[in-house]
Chains A and B, each alone.
Chain A
Amino acid sequence: MTLKSVSLVGIVTLLTSNWTRLALLLALAALVSGCAQPGPGQIEGNVFDPYEAKNRQTHELNHALDKALARPVGVGYTKIIPDDLEDGIGNFASNLSLPSTIVNNLLQGNMEGAFRNSMRFVFNSTLGFGGLFDVAGDFDLNEISGDFGQTLYVWGVPEGAYIELLIVGPSTERAALGKAVDLFTNPLSYVLPNPDKYIGTAAGVASKVGDRGRYAETLDSILYNSADSYSQARSIFMQNRRFQLGDGDAAEEINPFDLNTEGF
């Protein structure tokens, strides 16, 4: 069974889901351990990318979507919305997603992370006027990241292949499965009444749109100025993702004394 079919089963399961079914999915996720692992010679530049041809097609599509839609909307949004309001929307969205992070901290047995994030949620929801202001951050109480892809990493599920998702962008099989599960890990979505729970989603989308505008120069340099934006995005995503997971060591560097620099 490939990871792909497992995640398809997972998504179908989740669409009709409740917590019991989620548990079933977790069991399925455990099955994944044996799948989608690179064979010898299949890793190029430290990334396992067997779907490169298909990924590149998706990349072209994402590129076109960005050019026609995401970039102009994002840049316009940043121009029109005052900075303070934009920050407020970003904080608000990030605060509402925090309960999901806490669930993942707990699933990973990261009690300190769960505690810090809970404190953060309480402070920002109250003193920060429902999360509009990041008062906790002012006291160095910053978010400890946690998503279900990370939880799978902690549980020992392998990374799987690199994939570029439509609209979402660079990912791995494990991270993509995590994303699908994370649609259901936010306790707020079970507590809040029906129209209200979409406020967080809307704020999240607005926050992403704002990020596209805010970091326009940086993202443009990857998407539009790189000689090969696909491999550059892949390399940057993989390095950053592994760093966030604590997977691998930045010090695994070739020895500067070993490189022949004669003539340069």
Chain B
Amino acid sequence: MTQVSRRKATGLIGAALATFTVAPTQAAALDTVSAKKLVDALVGEINRVIASGKSEQAMYKDFKRIFAKYGDTSYIAAYAMGNDGRRASGAQKKKFSAEFQTYISRKYGARFREFIGGRLEAKSVRPVKSWFEVTTTAFLRDEAPFTVTFLVSNRTGRDKFFNIFIEGINLLLTERTEIGAMIDRRSGNLDKMIADLRTAK
């Protein structure tokens, strides 16, 4: 199959990069210049991991650390679980959150090498309700440039990214669809879903 355009496919590859990036330190003071600096710094950090020549397993660990540092991980996990989160026990939530971070790091980390030599440029920053939307353009080798948008909030008291859009594709929504389907396939059994997340790709 089929009709997944070059651009869209590229976007998903960009997801690899995107998942681990951007955490402005002062959302209130964000402007194009400082946002660009942050994005550049983070891309540099990720590229260092890729260039380190470590094993893939070791790289996933690094990506997980970056994700935990810059991402609003509890929001992301809660969103991904969706309505099913309401009936989850405290222990299930905690376990899910931890497994989910590993899963994300592995899923997108596995595709980082496709991003080698690419760069992101911050184009604009605008306040939306209670958060900031940082729009960047991704340039990958031999690809038409495409748009990657980061949503950043200081919900946790520190500025962290809580969602990423690649050419309009909402990564959180994509993961909620995935987790929801996994739960359905296991007849609503959360424990089984959490256990299987360990090997999910």
- Interface of A with B (CB < 8 Å)? 45, 62-63, 65-66, 70, 87, 90, 137, 142-143, 165, 167-171, 211-212, 214-215, 217-219, 221-223, 225-228, 231-233, 235-237, 239-240, 242-244, 250-251, 253, 255-257, 259-261, 263-264
**Residues of chain A within 8 A of B74, CB atoms compared:** 261, 264
14 A-B contacts (beta carbon < 8 Å): A62-B1, A63-B1, A66-B1, A218-B13, A221-B201, A226-B181, A228-B184, A235-B173, A237-B4, A239-B173, A240-B11, A244-B167, A250-B168, A256-B131
Is B72's CB under 8 angstroms from A264's CB?
A: no
Is A264's CB under 8 angstroms from B96's CB?
A: yes
**Residues of chain A within 8 A of B198, CB atoms compared:** none
Q: Mark B4-45, 1 if CB is under 8 A from A, else 0.
A: 111111111100000000000000000000000000000000
Q: How far is the CA of A212 from the CA of B9 in the complex (A)?
A: 9
9 A-B pairs with the lowest CB-CB distances in the bound complex, closest first: A243-B168, A169-B2, A169-B3, A215-B9, A228-B181, A227-B181, A263-B93, A66-B1, A264-B74
**Residues of chain B within 8 A of A65, CB atoms compared:** 1
Number of interface residues of B (CB under 8 A): 61
Q: Mark B49-67, 1 if CB is under 8 A from A, else 0.
A: 0000000000000000000
Q: How far is the CA of A228 from the CA of B2 in the complex (A)?
A: 17
Q: How far is the CA of A216 from the CA of B74 in the complex (A)?
A: 31
Interface-centre pick from A66, A225, A263 (highest chain B CB count, 10 A) = A263
- Beyond known contacts A215-B13, A261-B77: 10 more, CB 8 A cutoff: A142-B144, A171-B3, A215-B4, A223-B1, A226-B181, A240-B8, A240-B11, A240-B169, A261-B75, A263-B88
Contact of B130 (CB < 8 Å), options: A237, A256, A259, A264: A256
**Residues of chain A within 8 A of B128, CB atoms compared:** 251, 253
Q: A225-B200, A232-B178 are in contact. Are A239 and B2 (CB under 8 A)?
A: no
Report the nearest A residue to B145, measured CB to CB. A142
Is A264's CB under 8 angstroms from B185's CB?
A: no
**Residues of chain A within 8 A of B88, CB atoms compared:** 263
Q: Mark B126-155, 1 if CB is under 8 A from A, else 0.
A: 001111010000000010110001010101
**Residues of chain B within 8 A of A223, CB atoms compared:** 1
**Residues of chain B within 8 A of A251, CB atoms compared:** 128-129, 133
Is B153's CB under 8 angstroms from A221's CB?
A: no
Interface-centre pick from A212, A231, A233, A240 (highest chain B CB count, 10 A) = A240
**Residues of chain A within 8 A of B173, CB atoms compared:** 235, 239
A-contacting residues, B80-114, CB 8 Å:
81, 85, 88, 90, 93-94, 96-97, 107, 110-111, 114
Is B167's CB under 8 angstroms from A240's CB?
A: yes
Is B4's CB under 8 angstroms from A250's CB?
A: no
Q: How far is the CA of A222 from the CA of B8 in the complex (A)?
A: 12
Is A168's CB under 8 angstroms from B2's CB?
A: yes
Is B94's CB under 8 angstroms from A236's CB?
A: no
Report the nearest B residue to A67, measured CB to CB. B1
**Residues of chain A within 8 A of B75, CB atoms compared:** 256, 259, 261, 264
Is A242's CB under 8 angstroms from B174's CB?
A: no
Report the nearest A residue to B91, measured CB to CB. A263
Is there a chain A Cβ closer than 8 Å to B170's Cβ?
A: yes
Is A239's CB under 8 angstroms from B169's CB?
A: yes
Query: Would you give the shortest CB distance from B173 to chain A, in whole angstroms?
Result: 7
Is B8's CB under 8 angstroms from A66's CB?
A: no
Is A255's CB under 8 angstroms from B6's CB?
A: no
**Residues of chain B within 8 A of A240, CB atoms compared:** 5, 7-8, 11, 167-169
Contact of A256 (CB < 8 Å), options: B162, B178, B185: B162
Query: Would you give the shortest CB distance from A75 to chain B, in whole angstroms?
Result: 13
**Residues of chain A within 8 A of B201, CB atoms compared:** 221, 225
Report the nearest B residue to A65, measured CB to CB. B1
Query: Would you give the shortest CB distance from B10 to chain A, in whole angstroms?
Result: 8
Is B97's CB under 8 angstroms from A264's CB?
A: yes
Is A243's CB under 8 angstroms from B2's CB?
A: no
